[in-house]
Structure 1
Amino acid sequence: MSLGSLYLKFKQKYGHGLEVAHYRDRVRPKILQTPPITNTTDTTCEIHVLTSANDWLNLIWGLKSLYYYTGRNYALCIHGDTSLTEEQEAIFREHFPNARVIPRAEADEAMFEFLKPYPRCLEFRKNNHLSPKVFDFTAYLSSDRMFLFDSDILFFSEPKELLNRLENPNYEKNSVNADVGTAYTIDPEVVKEKMGFEVIPRFNSGLGVIHKTSMDLDWIEEFLSLPDIVGHFWRIEQTLYALCSSRFGVELLPSEYDVHLEEGINGSPSRHYVGAIRHQLYGEGIKQLVKQGFLKA
Structure 2
Amino acid sequence: MSSVTSASLPYRQTSLRIRRTVPHSDGMRETYDVVVVGGGPAGLNGALMLARSRRSVLVVDAGEPRNAPAEAVHGLFAHDGTPPAELLAKGRAEVERYGGHLTTGSVVGVTPGFTVTLADGRQVGARRLLVTTGLTDVLPEIEGLRERWGRDAVHCPYCHGWEIRDRAIGILATSPMGLHQAMMFRQLSDDVTLFTAEPPSAEQAAELSARGIRVVPGEVEALEIADDRITGVRLKDGTVVPLDAVVVGTRLKARVGFLEPLGLKAVPHPGGFGEHIPAAPDGQTDVPGVWVAGNVTDLMAQVGASASAGALAGARINGDLIAEETRQAVLAATS
Q: TM-score, normalised by structure 2?
A: 0.28
* Larger relative helix fraction: 1
* Larger relative strand fraction: 2
Query: Which has the higher Rg, Structure 1 or Structure 2?
Result: 2
Q: TM-score, normalised by structure 1?
A: 0.30
